[in-house]
Chain A
Amino acid sequence: MNILESIKSSFPGLSVTQVGPDFELEVSSVSLYDVLRILKREQGFILLLDIIGVDYSKYTSQPKEKRFSVIYHLLHMEAHTRLRVKVNLNENEAITSIKDLWSAAAWAEQEVAEMYGLEFEQHKTKKLLTPSHLKGFALRKDWQPAFSSKPQELSNIDFPWLADISDDERLCRKVIDINPSNPAIQGTFIVKAEVLGTVVKRAKVEIGLQHRGVEKLCESKLFSQIIPLAERLNYSSPMIGAIAWAKTVETALGIELTDRAQALRMIMMELSRALDHATCLSSMASDLRAWDASAIFSRIREHISNLFVAYHGARLMGPSVRIGGMIQDLPVGWVTQCLETINIIQSELAEVTSLLTRAPSWLVFHGEAGLSAAQALDWGMTGPCLRACGVNYDLRKNSPYYFYQDVEFDVPLGINGDPYDRYLVRVEEIFQSLRIISQVLDHIPSGLIQTDDPRLAKPTGAMRLTSADYAKHFDLYQNGTPLNSGEYYSFIESSNGELGFFLISDGEGKPYRLKIRGPSFYHFQSFPSSIENISLGSAAAVLASLNAITGEIDR
């Protein structure tokens, strides 16, 4: 029995529809909790990918009865299908919190409540991302920026003493505040930890210090203008974000890429993945005082950056991804340079693993603060952090895109889900990425790197352009490529996990609503509870190994 039939038989009264490769289920807000519980316990949708809020008040192509929708995005990890459970709401209707089904729902619900002003029952709605003096709900369609006259105070986390600790214990414990100025931390968030000796008892985090309002900005930009914004989500692997966004629009438009463009994208993504892992491991090593290892990892970064410079002239943020392909072909001699670099990186990685993997100071973190697979799924983890817990789930293997089913590579797995296993998984993934790159370079297809689809292509090539060509050109740059109204979701295995773009189109060249599923948002949410009852040193290791990228957390 396939998934669609089994959902239909469980919920005979509800309508299940297929939208592209995904399923959609509409429920009322009363039955939401029970439906989600059955989907999780009996149907096997065990991972909560995302919670998305939508304001349909200006949606012209299909007027809705109720103004808001909350969409719960679930993943079936055996059938590799995604299900969207949709609840339609009016402004003052409350909705049940599903925090006790998935811990990952806490921040996601808080974000929806903050951005749309929807109320979740059993849930204190506190601001998560935006500053306290911002008035109104930012992602509503009729919102205008407004600030209250009261000046914003320094964001202070309320941290009361637990009721059940005695006065003696209260004297021993102290609260330490790790904000971005603290030399012990590199990242833009505030962590407050209650410490007994060197052991962390409780911790709380404050995020949103890099909230740049990307999702709101995207609603006023053409599809092609969103590429740089997508690139800067996870800035340590810039090309992956840009390619993920381009892939979203291409699948929505139904554009087939040329073989060479797909191969180029695979090379660039794997290079970016290696770059990201090297950055993460470099900062992890320097946080844990392994200076020489940190230096070697940053040398690996330099090698990959040099390849990017040779390809498109920029070290980090590249201008080369376009919707419909790539803008530049590989320059002469690049392939040789890349193969040489792969050799160098492999020998340097072997050197650094011989330094670190058996080092006593590094083995300290073996078995500290490990997450079980069930816990990791509960927190919505994907990517290397999930694989370090022993879950064999890699989108490149399970839902392959481009030529990933044609190349040989292994998916490294850990056992304990601790910082040490995450380190091992990341190092091995760099090796596997290099393996993929050399295979693609061996069989790189020839041909064009841009699609010649008339909806995207500029009228070039002809010696003389007619006025109709100019009109088309103008239209393309002014209004963009219109996309049929509907909902589209596309994902990619980014270096941190599933990076997904959920796009709602209103038939224009701009997104009506764009929700970015950044993997770090869900990883970092697990941080405060996973460092309870471990030492401060291990807490630093956990934080570094999570690779929490503020661009993805805050957006």
Chain B
Amino acid sequence: MTLSNDLLDRLVVTTNKNSFIEWLDRRARDNSPWVFPFGLSCCALEHTATFGAHNMITQSSFSPARVKPEDADMMIFGGSISLKLLPILQDFHKRLKEPKWVMGIGACAASGGLYADGYSVVPGLNLEFPVDVYVPGCPPDPTQLNHGFELLRDRMKNNISRWHAEQESIV
């Protein structure tokens, strides 16, 4: 059998380098997104409970427990954003791998929660960061967190994020 052009087309997919890497990247992200968990208080406990004890987050393998921001696809933030913490948090968000996804856990991240009247917290994560998914609750329980992760993974599969939207609006 001679190697005809027709056969070559059927066996080989030609593409350019960048789009191939992007495809691979997205495949890897869909199957096992790496999470940078930045849980501070009560929400962190529920977050570890979700990761640890009785149910894994998804059926497929998820993420190592402790990841550096540079390696992570998304950041999970739970807890109050105090003014002293804000520069550190901005630094972490800057260091996240692009494209970035952010998930806010709990009332404090969503709106400042109980402490919104206080002098030392930012009333809402969205004032400073592009947030994709909020999980309400004080603190939310593992089933709610699971649901939040599912929503976020849907957005990841379709490559939608608030971060993208903000980038486009800047350009």
| Partner-B contacts on A (CB < 8 A) | 129-131, 133-134, 138, 145, 152-155, 179-181, 183, 186, 188, 208-214, 216-217, 220, 228-229, 232, 235-236, 238, 279, 283, 286, 294-295, 298-299, 301-302, 305, 314-317, 550-551, 554
**A133 CB contacts on chain B under 8 angstroms:** 83
Whether A209 pairs with B82 at a CB distance below 8 angstroms is yes
Whether B119 pairs with A316 at a CB distance below 8 angstroms is no
Residue of A nearest to B139 (CB): A316
Whether A209 pairs with B119 at a CB distance below 8 angstroms is no
**A298→B45 CA distance, assembly (Å):** 10
Q: How far is the CB of B48 from chain A (nearest CB, A)?
A: 7
In the complex with contacts A138-B119, A228-B114, A316-B139, A212-B80 CB distance below 8 A:
yes
Greatest chain A CB density within 10 A among B67, B118, B120 is at B120
Query: Which residues B56-108 have CB closer than 8 A to chain A?
Result: 65-69, 79-80, 82-88, 91-92
B30 within 8 A of A: no
**A209 CB contacts on chain B under 8 angstroms:** 40, 82, 84-85, 88
Whether A317 pairs with B138 at a CB distance below 8 angstroms is yes
Whether A145 pairs with B87 at a CB distance below 8 angstroms is no
Greatest chain A CB density within 10 A among B82, B88, B91 is at B82
Contact of B83 among A131, A179, A238, A302 (CB under 8 A): A131
Whether B40 pairs with A188 at a CB distance below 8 angstroms is yes
B163 within 8 A of A: no
Whether A301 pairs with B114 at a CB distance below 8 angstroms is no
**A131→B82 CA distance, assembly (Å):** 9
Whether B53 pairs with A212 at a CB distance below 8 angstroms is no
Residue of A nearest to B37 (CB): A186
Contact of A213 among B41, B69, B115 (CB under 8 A): B115
**A403→B139 CA distance, assembly (Å):** 31
Whether B53 pairs with A302 at a CB distance below 8 angstroms is yes
Contact of A134 among B52, B68, B85, B119 (CB under 8 A): B119
Whether A550 pairs with B41 at a CB distance below 8 angstroms is yes
Whether A236 pairs with B45 at a CB distance below 8 angstroms is yes
Whether A302 pairs with B118 at a CB distance below 8 angstroms is no
Whether A212 pairs with B87 at a CB distance below 8 angstroms is no
**A211→B46 CA distance, assembly (Å):** 21
Whether B53 pairs with A211 at a CB distance below 8 angstroms is no
**B117 CB contacts on chain A under 8 angstroms:** 217, 220
**A302 CB contacts on chain B under 8 angstroms:** 49, 53-54
**A186→B79 CA distance, assembly (Å):** 14
Q: How large is the interface on B (under 10, 10 to 19, 20 to 34, 35 or more residues)?
A: 35 or more
**A315 CB contacts on chain B under 8 angstroms:** 46, 49, 139, 141
Whether B41 pairs with A152 at a CB distance below 8 angstroms is no
Q: How far is the CB of A18 from chain B (nearest CB, A)?
A: 36
B133 within 8 A of A: no
Whether A301 pairs with B49 at a CB distance below 8 angstroms is yes
**A152→B91 CA distance, assembly (Å):** 13
List 13 A-B pairs, Cβ < 8 Å. Answer: A183-B68, A188-B41, A208-B84, A209-B82, A212-B82, A213-B119, A216-B118, A238-B42, A295-B52, A302-B53, A316-B42, A316-B46, A550-B40
In the complex with contacts A298-B49, A316-B139, A212-B68 CB distance below 8 A:
no
In the complex with contacts A154-B91, A210-B85, A315-B141, A298-B48 CB distance below 8 A:
yes
Query: Which residues B12-67 have CB closer than 8 A to chain A?
Result: 36, 38, 40-42, 44-46, 48-49, 52-54, 65-67
**A155→B83 CA distance, assembly (Å):** 11
In the complex with contacts A305-B49, A315-B141, A180-B38 CB distance below 8 A:
yes
Contact of A235 among B45, B49, B65 (CB under 8 A): B45
**A145 CB contacts on chain B under 8 angstroms:** 119
**A286→B49 CA distance, assembly (Å):** 13
**A316→B139 CA distance, assembly (Å):** 7
**A554→B80 CA distance, assembly (Å):** 12
Pairs A-B, 6 closest by C-beta atoms:
A183-B66, A213-B118, A235-B42, A131-B84, A131-B83, A212-B115
Whether B114 pairs with A213 at a CB distance below 8 angstroms is no
Residue of A nearest to B91 (CB): A154
Query: Which residues B120-145 have CB closer than 8 A to chain A?
Result: 120-121, 138-139, 141
Residue of A nearest to B83 (CB): A131
**A238→B45 CA distance, assembly (Å):** 12
Contact of B87 among A155, A213, A236, A316 (CB under 8 A): A155
**B138 CB contacts on chain A under 8 angstroms:** 317
**A299 CB contacts on chain B under 8 angstroms:** 53-54
Whether A235 pairs with B68 at a CB distance below 8 angstroms is no
**A352→B79 CA distance, assembly (Å):** 31
Contact of A211 among B69, B84, B91 (CB under 8 A): B84
Q: How far is the CB of B122 from chain A (nearest CB, A)?
A: 11
**B118 CB contacts on chain A under 8 angstroms:** 212-214, 216-217
Whether A183 pairs with B67 at a CB distance below 8 angstroms is yes
Taking A155-B84, A181-B68, A232-B42 as given, write out 13 further A-B residue pairs in contact, using a Cβ cutoff of 8 Å, ordered by the A residue number.
A131-B83, A134-B120, A138-B119, A138-B120, A153-B87, A188-B85, A209-B40, A209-B84, A216-B119, A283-B48, A298-B48, A302-B49, A550-B40
**A499→B117 CA distance, assembly (Å):** 25
Q: How far is the CB of A187 from chain B (nearest CB, A)?
A: 9
